[in-house]
Amino acid sequence: MRKLLAIAYSLLVLASPSGAEAADRWTELPTPPAMPEAVESGKAPVNGIEMYYAVYGTAKDTPILMIHGGLGYADIWANQVADLAKDHRVIVADSRGHGRSTRTDAPYGYDLMASDYLALLDYLKVDKVALVGWSDGGIIGLDIAMKHPERLTRLFAQAANTKTSGVKADVLENKTFLAYIDRCGEVYKKISPTPDQYDAFVNQIGQMWASEPNWTDDQLKTIKTPTAIVLGDHDEAVDRGHTEYIAKTVPGAELVILKDVSHFAMLQDPAGYTAAVRAFLDKP
């Protein structure tokens, strides 16, 4: 993983789509708008870290927890939060070591990251959430669905993998994905409590990616939470066959394929993405 990341950094000069590619929205990486004004925000002391969080909207029904992907940060959900907060309570956070949250020397693991989010919900006195997770966020959502189903009402898991083999071998040759890595590094320098430690952070989380997740069919079959397994039809990171396998293995799961978008669907088609979230989460 470290070698692959080194190659990725060396190729960042190729990260900006141009020419004919620029016309295809799945090759683009739009910048999210500013987040709306939060009802509440701060840093929660959980599992030895200070975890940044923000809450939007005042609706009293089951809140929505939105979990971003690896290297990212909560503000990537700005388009969705602005819409969903009109009639939902929406909670976002920066995962351990990401964005404005701190990290420790403890090895990364999806079970640890899931426990961070559960501890955050305890801190906020929230019993249950509908969870929208993207990439690592979707993996965290699946972990919670398997081990703590009582905390979830629904799970919308986009671009998640349940085995390391579900990630495409050439993902770090993709220009859009390289641009994402570059952007996350720039944001990290601006908002992280440790702005000069991006490389160390990437190396630390990269050790997790090299070996996790690797769940068995029997583990996935324990999921009882109503689940949507979601993928963009041009996802550059997760294999579609793997996504279809997850949807077939998780009992009752709904397979959702988002049109003309990639791993970064929430940025490339904000309205379409939000509509897909609503269509699933707001089912009676």
Total domains in the chain come to 1
The whole-angstrom separation of Cα 25 and Cα 216 is 35
pLDDT in tens, 31-61: 999 999 999 999 999 999 999 999 999 998 8
Residue 167: DSSP 8-state = B
DSSP secondary structure letter of residue 70: T
- Cα distance between residue 260 and residue 270, in whole Å: 12
In sequence order, the β-bridge partners of residue 65 are: 91, 131
Non-local CB neighbours of 261 within 8 Å, separated by 6+ positions: 25, 26, 232, 233, 234, 268, 269, 272, 273
Residue-averaged pLDDT of the chain: 93
Q: What is the residue range of 84's domain?
A: 2-281
Would the pLDDT of 88 be above 90?
yes
Do residues 238 and 264 make contact, with C-beta atoms less than 8 angstroms apart?
A: no
Per-residue model confidence as pLDDT tens digits over 204-219: 999 999 999 999 999 9
Backbone angles phi, psi at 147, to 5 degrees: -105, -25
pTM of structure: 0.92
Q: Which of 143, 191, 167 is nearest to 242 (CA)?
A: 167
CATH number of the CATH domain containing 194: 3.40.50.1820
Give 141's pLDDT tier (boundaries 50, 70, 90). Answer: very high
Strand partners, 132: 66, 156
Report residue 23's pLDDT band, with 50, 70 and 90 as the boundaries: low
